Structure 1
Amino acid sequence: MPTPNRRAPRADGRPLVLGHRGASADAPENTLAAFRLALAQGADGVELDVWRCRTGEVVVVHDEDTGRVAGARFRVDATPLAELRALDVGAWKGERFRGARISTLPEVLEALPGAVVNVELKSRGRDLRLAEAVARDVRRAGAGGRVIASSFDYRLVAAFRLAAPEVPVGLLFEPGHRWRLRTALAARLLGAAAVHPDASLVTPARAEAWRARGLAVNAWTVDAPDEVARLTGLGAAALITNVPGRTRAQVRALTGR
């Protein structure tokens, strides 16, 4: 079995603030505009979603098809990069974002030097080559020290773990049947550095237990001020938020950092 990963990215004395798909309350999600705005608002980094398109590139988009953000429905894993590039994924969020395009993971890593990047691996089936492609892109960018890879599909986490043992991994989960046993086993077997729970699952007892096992607690999606305060008090390592500017300001007020 793999040896445990190195520590997940952290900040001293406060949780990291990561823009959920960038500053997605204000800009079109998973675009360079949203990522740059998140950093301009004070975020430590971003959370983003990746698929492998038909021509093999790792592209940054959340849904399995482009209908919601582009108005035209193309299945991401069945569409070549050139056709995905032709889509406008910004106009739905406002005229000022018209012309925003789908980016590749290497482009985002290059555009955000020094930023923490949580890469969520997504796949319709068992596309383990996605994990290998992400590992390649992170390594070529020299970004291993600021990336954490996560997924709800622990097969993808395992594949990434083998492809890039030097990069930490996190386990995503939400309320549902048997998440406790499934996640506990996967954390041990995969040498996870972090758990990425839905914020509602982070109780004082669970937060303490996860931290006692050396796991960073990276909670999502944390927008409400009372949740920011609660999770900061529980020692969360990262808050993944749609409103990074407001969340970062509140964390600074709560911690002095």
Structure 2
Amino acid sequence: MICIDFYDKETNMDKNQQTPKTNLLKKILHIYSKTLKIILRNILYLIAGQVILMGIAYFLLFPFINMIIDDTLRLTGYSYITAGNLFRFLVHPITILMLLLLFIVIGIFLTLDILFLITFFSLTEREQKLKVVMLAKLTIYRLFYCIKKGRMTALFTSWVLTVISSVPFLMFAVWRFRNFKYYMEETPSRYLFFGVFVLAIGMLLFLYFIGPYYYHSLLTERNGLLTVSRKDIRPHERRNLLISIGGWNTLLAAFLFLIYMFTMAMTAVLVSGFSDRLEATSTFIEVYDRMSVYLALVIFVFGITSNMALISYTFHRHRKLKINGHEEAEDFFKPAYSYKKIIYFLIITLFTINVYYFYQVVHNGSAFDYMNLQDVKVTSHRGYSHSVPENTLMAVTKAIAEKADYVEVDIRVTKDGELVLLHDPSLKRTTGYNKFIWEVPYEKVSQLDAGSWFGEEFAGTKIPTLKELFELAKGQVKINMDLKYRNDSEDLAKKVVALMKEYDMEKQCVITSTSIHCLKQVKEEDSDIRTGLITYGIYGGIIKNKAIDFFSMKASLVIKNTVNEAHKNGREVHVWTVNTKSEIERLKRIGVDNIITDNPAYVVKVLKNNESDKFLTTLLKIIKD
């Protein structure tokens, strides 16, 4: 019989001299101390192994998830997921099938990580000399063995163990990331309470019927799969184990929070030397957001590693059971030796394909960008028209420097068919040349001065082509192209889409127009390109028009009901042109998705004021004092 006993010789004390609570506390602290020693004993191997696994996730798993999400959105006919249409999206048969696929694929990866940690800590606990090749072979062999033996129970167990081990990560995500906050705010409290209640009951049932020692017992092949927790662990020992895990995660959360605060404080120290407060705030916000993502990954890895160390130590504490499998692992890989070249070729090919796909996602935008979860994006109007001549490369460069999410430009066609950046039909306002753009060949357009009207310091600024814009902005900032449709003879939509494909900009750009006909032409060329209708209102059946993925509306005409209706039908709401604090705050409250402004740095500051700016201000005051 396998039995867990939290009482060992190293903590043997006179029970008459201690209260049960004191004795339990000392035992748990002793377990924590031993767990830390196991983690530190071969720390370099542990870090290397987790880095390799996270690299697999980064280059193979995440691109695959992106692809599945992208395909699911396309096959279900949704271009945008919100709280309003989330339920309908989730119950769609295609979505259910895709989620099941993701459950299996992600579950396999989580199982691989958990079994690596169990194998690593098992060998470390027995103070065996680690051999990298054998560690890898044992992990992979056990992965196939456990999935074959446990099937869906094994994958379910991996998910639950990951959730239990990720308590610090979940706390950080709910506190730090606006996406989690948004869904918690938008979800009725009774549903949220019910969801948390069901999750808690599910965790307790798992711990009672299967238990955290599932994989350990499965690998020892003792007493079947579901009897270890119920028959071999006495009630008070099961309680002590739960207390140990709870206390361990509380300490982890506190430790990781201190690391997070220290990192942010150091960032604040670095930006406190900036003389321009707006520049300091913008820089801090950028670092704050990026560091939060990296810290979230570190917290997740740290959480699952340390929890599996604790669980493995408590399992092995009074067990001298050998979880070897060395011979089985060698036998498992023997048939593959004669096919080494083929296997290596397949691995390298698969890796290359996924790296290429990942590069495309990073370079051109991610499928996750389609799933706007109420993080308001900021678009810089006509490049950066607040302080630089509009629709120029200089304006786009300024928008990139000011950390705008999108840059909005206007596209027109010259007499000889060149695509250029220009808002007005006439060249007169920005160049002084009193001709319509379609009456002038590009050679003449390229000689005009489009900067002097804005200020003498900008004299000589040229009207750029769309090609020049793509060359500048590729991989730097997303682009919102307002197509100034005039007639079909110009082939505006066809030319723009062709150029997007030439520069691989399909996912880095969105296209807007006041003409639904123009948007339909875009969709005919490439249905995956996101399109938006510039309008003063949403009316009739237009909200379900398949040629429209979002609406670009005058800000003063947008109310909460407008946003709700658009979101329920899977459409975003972009608003223009917003430059005042009160209007920015109002639009944020009613849940718009994108704010188009002449001054993106100011809008970013206002949007983040409740979180980052207050944190930065407090830190700067402390530093200066």
Question: One fold, TM greater than 0.5?
Answer: yes
1:124 aligns to 2:480 (yes or no): no
Please give the alpha-carbon distance, in whole angstroms, between the structure 2 residues aligned to 1:10 and 1:221: 24
Report 1:91-170 matches (<5 A).
91-114=452-475, 115-127=477-489, 129-170=491-532
Please report how far the alpha carbon of residue 12 of structure 1 lies from its aligned counterpart in structure 2 after TM superposition: 5.6
Please give the alpha-carbon distance, in whole angstroms, between the structure 2 residues aligned to 1:99 and 1:171: 34
Please report how far the alpha carbon of residue 6 of structure 1 lies from its aligned counterpart in structure 2 after TM superposition: 4.0
When residues 9 and 107 of structure 1 are mapped into structure 2, their CA distance, relative to the original with a 3 A threshold, is farther
1:64 aligns to 2:425 (yes or no): yes
Deviation by residue 1:114-172 (Cα, 9 ceiling, x = unmatched): 31111011033444610000111111111111211011111111111111212110010
Kept in 1, the 8 Å contact 2:417–2:490? The answer is no
Look up the equivalent residue of 1:235 and give its one-letter code. Answer: G
Look up the equivalent residue of 1:78 and give its one-letter code. Answer: E
1:211 aligns to 2:572 (yes or no): no
Please give the alpha-carbon distance, in whole angstroms, between the structure 2 residues aligned to 1:108 and 1:9: 23
Q: Mean Cα displacement is larger for which, 32-41 or 186-195?
A: 186-195
* Structure 1 residue aligned with 2:538: 180
Please give the alpha-carbon distance, in whole angstroms, between the structure 2 residues aligned to 1:31 and 1:9: 28
Kept in 1, the 8 Å contact 2:543–2:566? The answer is no
When residues 173 and 127 of structure 1 are mapped into structure 2, their CA distance, relative to the original with a 3 A threshold, is farther
1:49 aligns to 2:49 (yes or no): no
* Structure 1 residue aligned with 2:353: none
When residues 153 and 128 of structure 1 are mapped into structure 2, their CA distance, relative to the original with a 3 A threshold, is farther
**Out of 412, 437, 456, which is 1:76 matched to?**
437
When residues 244 and 83 of structure 1 are mapped into structure 2, their CA distance, relative to the original with a 3 A threshold, is same
Name the SS of the counterpart of 1:245 in structure 2. Answer: helix
Look up the equivalent residue of 1:217 and give its one-letter code. Answer: V
Look up the equivalent residue of 1:140 and give its one-letter code. Answer: E
**Out of 64, 86, 89, which is 2:447 matched to?**
86
* Structure 1 residue aligned with 2:549: 193
Deviation by residue 1:87-124 (Cα, 9 ceiling, x = unmatched): 00011111221111111112112201231111011033
Identity %: 26
> Larger RCO: Structure 1 or Structure 2 (Cα < 8 Å, ≥ 6 residues apart)?
1
When residues 200 and 63 of structure 1 are mapped into structure 2, their CA distance, relative to the original with a 3 A threshold, is same
Look up the equivalent residue of 2:411 and give its one-letter code. Answer: V
Which stretches in structure 2 are left out of the alignment for 5+ residues?
1-73, 81-368, 614-625
TM-score, normalised to structure 2, is 0.38
Please report how far the alpha carbon of residue 189 of structure 1 lies from its aligned counterpart in structure 2 after TM superposition: 3.0
When residues 239 and 127 of structure 1 are mapped into structure 2, their CA distance, relative to the original with a 3 A threshold, is farther
**Out of 399, 416, 421, which is 1:38 matched to?**
399
Which stretches in structure 1 are left out of the alignment for 5+ residues?
none
Please report how far the alpha carbon of residue 20 of structure 1 lies from its aligned counterpart in structure 2 after TM superposition: 0.5
Q: Decide which structure has greater strand share.
A: 1
When residues 25 and 144 of structure 1 are mapped into structure 2, their CA distance, relative to the original with a 3 A threshold, is same
When residues 244 and 127 of structure 1 are mapped into structure 2, their CA distance, relative to the original with a 3 A threshold, is farther
Please give the alpha-carbon distance, in whole angstroms, between the structure 2 residues aligned to 1:55 and 1:247: 39
1:222 aligns to 2:583 (yes or no): no
Please give the alpha-carbon distance, in whole angstroms, between the structure 2 residues aligned to 1:245 and 1:123: 30
Please report how far the alpha carbon of residue 188 of structure 1 lies from its aligned counterpart in structure 2 after TM superposition: 2.4
Name the SS of the counterpart of 2:474 in structure 1. Answer: coil
Please report how far the alpha carbon of residue 81 of structure 1 lies from its aligned counterpart in structure 2 after TM superposition: 0.9
TM-score, normalised to structure 1, is 0.90
Report 1:8-23 matches (<5 A).
13-23=374-384
Q: Mean Cα displacement is larger for which, 190-199 or 120-129?
A: 120-129
Please give the alpha-carbon distance, in whole angstroms, between the structure 2 residues aligned to 1:113 and 1:222: 26
Please report how far the alpha carbon of residue 208 of structure 1 lies from its aligned counterpart in structure 2 after TM superposition: 0.8
Look up the equivalent residue of 1:85 and give its one-letter code. Answer: S
Higher-Rg member (1/2): 2
Look up the equivalent residue of 2:455 and give its one-letter code. Answer: G
Kept in 2, the 8 Å contact 1:171–1:187? The answer is no
